[in-house]
Structure 1
Amino acid sequence: MIVRYIGVWFITLLLLAGCRSLPLEQQLDKILPTAEQVGADHLPETIEGVETPFFETKFARPQFPDRRDTVFPNESIQEKLDRLASQGGGTLLLKGHHLTGRITLKSNIELRLDADAVLEFKSEIADFMPVVFTRNEGVELYSLGACIYANGAKNIALTGTGRVVGPGEGSIRKQIMTHDVIENIVDSQTPVEQRIYDGKTADFIFPPALIAPINCSDVWIEGISLERSAFWNIVPTYCDGVVIRGVRVNSVGIQRGDGIDIESSRNVLVEYCTLNTGDDCIAVKAGRGYDGLRVNRPSENIVVRYCLSEKGHGGFTIGSETAGMAKKVYVHDCVFEGTDVGIRFKTRRPRGGGGEQIRFENIRMHVVHSAIRWDMLGQAQHVGNQASRAFKVDVNPLTPRFSAIQLHNIYIGSSSDCIKIEGIPESVLEDVTLSRVFARGTRYLSMKDAKDVRILNSKFDCQDYTIDTTHVSGLIQKNVEFVGKH
């Protein structure tokens, strides 16, 4: 049985009432969802109410004008979308196989992919001209935007059970900027309207996401399957009121092939999605470096539930671009089955931001490397000397921070590191509570630059119980059992 938040404590108590004599791992095994109970295969038709510890909101299926049209192969999708929009909106049904350039959704439009529909995107930069306003890796600029794009639209939807296929081999993939990190390429002092990357002004482009509405409200994405992305798959940016449900993403082997990235958006629900990705499965982001500070828009009021993350770098990640902060994020009843890392918090000294008021609850995972991971330093190839904690950095506007984080009812079936924390000396990780955690792994706990971390009512089955600590204060372990430790 899946534990819904609605009275999560009450329901959990009822379920535990008959098994309190069982070991913690068996208690959790009874109440936590399995891979066979979550993900796109189990998408219900109706949307349940949403309860969170941080905010109140309602999500409802959008309504569209009773006006319908169908687009068949060799017909222009954009022309029919524009015609429908000029009439006040409605639903456009896509049938068959379509090969197209960028599509731009307009207000009050539902684009529905029939079961046999394949929406495939062309591979040349010319097919995505003119450049459009977008945000790429947390920096505002003008480039290719997204395969399915919208700017300033209200009440839009992308639904159905068809497939969306990204660009193949062509100038888009050949001219992607890969030679440096974006903040070294796009000067934060340059006016946004002058940041043009069309493959001619500069000899490279910033690649299009598959689906990326920007400055939109009431966005609904449901049921579709995504594959062969050139970049991130679904990226709502500066949006308010977003529902992503029952989506399947397959971008395994694609560098930076994130599944769902919530970017400086608010009031977001992600549920019953299945993700196999070339990078993070689900991530929360909020801008990068000084450009992210200039915009200063958080990602907040976010619920992620009943999702299945299979292959990917992280099952669920906060960061690493979080200059505007990630706040009021609630992730519950999800399964991470085979990802590299389970729950990951990432910041970088030159990127700013961080997160607070974040809660994970009722999570089951089997991971390759770290189960619960804070990584606030990064790698030298991306941030140079700042990736070393020995490199002194004074507190500055880009100093990141994480605090006020809770993890409750977490089952870790396998991992290398159960808990691995790398904060930064000038801004330590603080105020973290892990309760009712069962974890099986090689190593129990490694901590650098942290304070006020509490591990409560938990059980660990590890080969190595050495606690590796550097610059740590206020570590509390209470009612913690260590299997085989003498």
Structure 2
Amino acid sequence: MIKRLAVFSLLALPVLASGQTSFTSNLPPVKTTSFRADTFSIAKYGAVADGVTSNTTALQQAIDACGQKGGGVVLVPRGHWRTGPIELRSNVNLHIAAGALVQFSDKMADYKLIKTNWEGLAAVRNQPQIYGKNLENVAVTGKGIVDGAGEAWYMVQKGRSTESEWKQLVASGGVLNEKQDRWYPTPQSLKGTMVKEAGVLSEEKSEIKDFEEIKDYLRPDMLVLDHCKRLLLEGVTFQNSPAWTLHPMMSEDVIVRNVTVFNGPYTPNTDALDLESCKNGLVEGSTFDVGDDAICIKSGRNEQGRARAMPTENFIIRNCKVYRAHGGFVIGSEMSGGARNIYVSNLTFIGTDIGLRFKTTRGRGGVVENIFIENVDMKDIPGEAILFDMYYMIKDPTPQVAGSKERPVSPAKPVDESTPQFRKIQIRNVTCNGAKTGIMVRGLPEMSIKDISIENAVLQSQQGLVCIEADNIQLRNVTLLTQKTDPVMEVHNSQNITLDNIKFAPQAAVLLRVSGADKAKNVLLTNTDVSKAKTGVEFGQNVKKKAVVVSKK
């Protein structure tokens, strides 16, 4: 019996703001998976749920048989099932039942190197634990648990371990780096740290055999679905991934629903969900607690990403929780193919390093645009609640000299295809209880961050707004409850800035400081009670008074 092919309509989603037509009405429908009712239990192919026996062959035989017979459900029943890496097939739903624990091998020899893509570049890595390429109509579903045995692959820092944990780890084997402050599971994994762009394919290293000497460093992703159509991840708990956890790549019609991803707090590169160059999809009802970014939008890196020219586009992301991550919702930094038409709503971040995180750098290129975000609540954010940063992984280009309020000049570079762009992004209905910075916007001297609207926000943070190299930034109905009040808001080298109905703690030393004589213009502070601050507006060197207009409330 074959179920009728269905589509998930995006047409009924709410509009972004009163009187505004929601862009979602123009999104294409997401085609959904549909499977035969035939069930292939792995137990019938010789799998043993004793937590000891390797069931790689039985699992793969069940998946292959299901695919060859037209598809259906491959059932992993309750029990503890050990396995090595497996490959999915078209029309197969790998169903991990409630009470089932699929435990992937912790033996590095059980994984082979393959040519794939890593962090946006063509690369060699150990094969993913669950892999599919050029498939159609494929799923991983159920209420069970998939464990990636990531601890077998991780580097461990001494400073992030207790004394007894460190001693026990060192005594277990492995090797230490020269400083004796980092532990690696094998000499190969340590050697990989000494290789620039380890794993990346090049003219000098173009074959798999060229990477054998650092094999153990090239950790596998948990799940990769590459160039697939109609895929579903639903209900399963994925934990202890060796690297990225869920990685749909260059795929269409992607649905991720009610999944849970758990990785430890200091586990390297353990992103929860990376949607890379994917088209048309839905992410909803999921929970993430990981050692790197949580919900990530990517599209390739630098020249290769631009040549690929496949943006991640037409996605709905809603009703998700992130308890710990580097970023809650993230675009970049590998966004060279662009990102567009993404609607995000009803997210909660607790303890993420950064909340809403847009990151890129010179050399990436790519355009991020038409991003709509609403109803986001955050708590205990060590960094920025809302961050747009075009200097990712680069030292602050305009640090303030101690004792000076002026920022040094940062020279512009020529604009070309490698110049990234952030534009046309709307954010509304945001709260944050505790952050280092409420809002940071940091563009390039040659490419401002443009057309950003933030509306209806209450942000409690050490400092409020830092806006550098920006054009057409609008804050409306924003409350900035800051510890640092000199100034509450800083605008540098920016123009066409609207600050409308801004609320702040009484007796702030300086409400707004505007600097950058060559670029500062058209800054409007309106519907704001400036008298509650000791100084309403402070001007940087040579900034003309007419650059700022204060319209009384």
TM-score (norm 2): 0.73
Letter in 2 for 1:266: K
Q: Deviations over 1:177-202 (max 9, x none)?
A: 444663x86356679xx353675265
Match of 2:455 in 1: 435
- Contact 2:123–2:201 under 8 Å retained in 1: no
User: Could you tell me how far 1:152 is from its partner in structure 2?
Assistant: 0.4
* CA RMSD in angstroms, aligned pairs only: 2.8
Aligned CA distance change for structure 1 residues 122 and 290 (closer, same or farther; 3 Å): same
User: Could you tell me how far 1:273 is from its partner in structure 2?
Assistant: 0.6
Which blocks of at least 5 consecutive residues in structure 2 are unaligned? 1-9, 155-184, 398-407, 509-531, 533-553
Partners of 2:11 and 2:195 in 1: how far apart?
A: 43
Match of 2:131 in 1: 149
Partners of 2:348 and 2:435 in 1: how far apart?
A: 14
For the pair shown, which has the larger CA radius of gyration, 1 or 2?
2
User: Could you tell me how far 1:479 is from its partner in structure 2?
Assistant: 2.0
User: Could you tell me how far 1:438 is from its partner in structure 2?
Assistant: 1.7
Partners of 1:476 and 1:358 in 2: how far apart?
A: 20
Match of 2:547 in 1: none
Partners of 2:493 and 2:195 in 1: how far apart?
A: 32
- Contact 1:197–1:205 under 8 Å retained in 2: no
Partners of 1:389 and 1:347 in 2: how far apart?
A: 21
Match of 1:238 in 2: 250
Partners of 2:435 and 2:224 in 1: how far apart?
A: 34
Q: Secondary structure of the equivalent of 2:484?
A: strand
Aligned CA distance change for structure 1 residues 389 and 305 (closer, same or farther; 3 Å): farther
Match of 2:325 in 1: 312
Match of 1:361 in 2: 374
Aligned CA distance change for structure 1 residues 169 and 419 (closer, same or farther; 3 Å): closer
Partners of 1:381 and 1:137 in 2: how far apart?
A: 21
Partners of 2:387 and 2:151 in 1: how far apart?
A: 35
Match of 1:373 in 2: 387
- Contact 2:199–2:211 under 8 Å retained in 1: no
Match of 2:200 in 1: 186
Aligned CA distance change for structure 1 residues 244 and 311 (closer, same or farther; 3 Å): same
Partners of 2:204 and 2:248 in 1: how far apart?
A: 24
Partners of 1:171 and 1:344 in 2: how far apart?
A: 28
Q: Deviations over 1:252-311 (max 9, x none)?
A: 221111111100101121101111010111110000111212212111111110000111
Q: Does residue 1:483 correspond to 2:505, yes or no? A: yes
Q: Secondary structure of the equivalent of 1:126?
A: helix
1:418 maps to which of 410, 417, 438: 438
Match of 1:405 in 2: 425
Q: Deviations over 1:20-53 (max 9, x none)?
A: xxxxxxxxxxxxxxxxxxxxxxxxxxxxxxx853
Aligned runs of 1:74-473 on 2, under 5 Å?
A: 74=53, 75=55, 76-95=58-77, 96-129=79-112, 131-168=113-150, 170=152, 174=186, 175-176=188-189, 177-179=192-194, 182=197, 186=200, 194-196=206-208, 199-200=211-212, 205-252=217-264, 253-366=266-379, 367-380=381-394, 390=410, 393-465=413-485, 466=487, 467-473=489-495
Letter in 2 for 1:56: L
- Contact 2:60–2:87 under 8 Å retained in 1: yes
Q: Secondary structure of the equivalent of 1:322?
A: coil
Q: Does residue 1:70 correspond to 2:41, yes or no? A: yes
Letter in 1 for 2:129: C
Q: Secondary structure of the equivalent of 2:424?
A: strand
Partners of 2:502 and 2:12 in 1: how far apart?
A: 28
- Contact 2:375–2:429 under 8 Å retained in 1: yes
User: Could you tell me how far 1:420 is from its partner in structure 2?
Assistant: 1.0
Aligned residue pairs, count: 438
Partners of 2:122 and 2:218 in 1: how far apart?
A: 11
Partners of 1:164 and 1:52 in 2: how far apart?
A: 37
Is the deviation greater in 256-265 or in 194-203? 194-203
Aligned CA distance change for structure 1 residues 279 and 180 (closer, same or farther; 3 Å): farther
Letter in 2 for 1:457: N
Q: Deviations over 1:358-386 (max 9, x none)?
A: 11111111123210011211224899xxx
Q: Deviations over 1:27-82 (max 9, x none)?
A: xxxxxxxxxxxxxxxxxxxxxxxx85373233465221121111132441001111
Q: Deviations over 1:320-346 (max 9, x none)?
A: 100101111111011112211110100
- Contact 2:122–2:201 under 8 Å retained in 1: no
Q: Secondary structure of the equivalent of 2:24?
A: coil
Q: Secondary structure of the equivalent of 1:310?
A: strand
Letter in 1 for 2:259: V
Q: Secondary structure of the equivalent of 1:344?
A: strand
- Contact 1:232–1:259 under 8 Å retained in 2: yes
Partners of 2:418 and 2:360 in 1: how far apart?
A: 10
Partners of 1:305 and 1:469 in 2: how far apart?
A: 32
- Contact 2:277–2:299 under 8 Å retained in 1: yes
Letter in 1 for 2:14: V
Partners of 2:152 and 2:347 in 1: how far apart?
A: 37
Partners of 1:55 and 1:215 in 2: how far apart?
A: 24
User: Could you tell me how far 1:142 is from its partner in structure 2?
Assistant: 3.7
- Contact 1:213–1:237 under 8 Å retained in 2: yes
Aligned CA distance change for structure 1 residues 169 and 478 (closer, same or farther; 3 Å): closer
Partners of 1:330 and 1:217 in 2: how far apart?
A: 21
Letter in 1 for 2:40: D
Which blocks of at least 5 consecutive residues in structure 1 are unaligned? 14-50
Q: Higher RCO, 1 or 2 (CA under 8 Å, sep at least 6)?
A: 1
Aligned CA distance change for structure 1 residues 364 and 86 (closer, same or farther; 3 Å): same
Partners of 2:324 and 2:11 in 1: how far apart?
A: 26
Identity %: 29
Partners of 1:248 and 1:112 in 2: how far apart?
A: 15
Q: Secondary structure of the equivalent of 2:303?
A: helix
Letter in 1 for 2:494: V
Match of 2:403 in 1: none
Letter in 2 for 1:217: K
Q: Secondary structure of the equivalent of 1:368?
A: strand
Letter in 1 for 2:274: D
